[in-house]
Amino acid sequence: MKKLILGIFLAAGLLACEGDRGPQGPPGQNGTAFIGQTYEYENVNFVYESANNLYATLLNVPPEIEILPSDAILVYRLEEQIVNGNIIETWSLIPKNFFVPQGTIQYLYNHTDADVELLINGNFNLSGLDTGFTNNQIFRFVVIPSDFAKDPKINIQTFDELEKAIQQQDFALNEFTIQ
């Protein structure tokens, strides 16, 4: 008798799954699913806040980027390095420290689902900080599920390593650039 009742419930469950097909999701590239999104801001300039002795700037999240409460936002700063006479672009994960003659500075950030605040703080009077740290900076923002970001097998320290990890799992990132 129990098997008969179980069979009726299973059959009813299968029939209840019929209905109109839902809307199609966004297309992937060559059948690749997207795990997250990335966007860049170019020509970012910081403003000195003397009351707090720090530099700050507030950048809006583009409207085409959807951030879920469970998502993580990773921020990378573009750095150019000279290797064998060639300029190599690298992306460094924030927070990031720099040791300058006056002391130490650190890039930091915090975010909501609508904006990201970038900060530069330090252990000395920052009013005269070299503009190479404060003007015309380029930042890349990566929005990914937090479970993916905290996986110990995933290296998020450089954007290249993060991108490799995403590609190894047959995912891709939607990319946007903001001038």
Ordered by start, the domain boundaries in the chain are 31-178
Specify the pLDDT at position 152: 79
Please identify every stretch of the chain with a pLDDT value under 50, giving residue numbers as ranges.
1-17, 24-32, 179
Beta strand 103-111 with 47-49: parallel, antiparallel or unpaired?
A: unpaired
Specify the pLDDT at position 65: 86
Specify the pLDDT at position 108: 97
Specify the pLDDT at position 80: 84
How many angstroms separate the CA atoms of 53 and 17, rounded?
60
Phi and psi at 114, nearest 5°, equal -115, -20
- pTM here is 0.71
Task: Tell me which residue of 99, 102, 158, 109 sits closest to 128, measured CA to CA.
Answer: 102
Structure tokens at 138: 């380029």
Instruction: List, for residues 126-164, the tens digit of each pLDDT value.
Output: 999 999 999 999 999 988 887 777 777 777 777 777 777
Does 62 sit behind a cis peptide bond, omega within 30 degrees of 0 on the bond before it? no
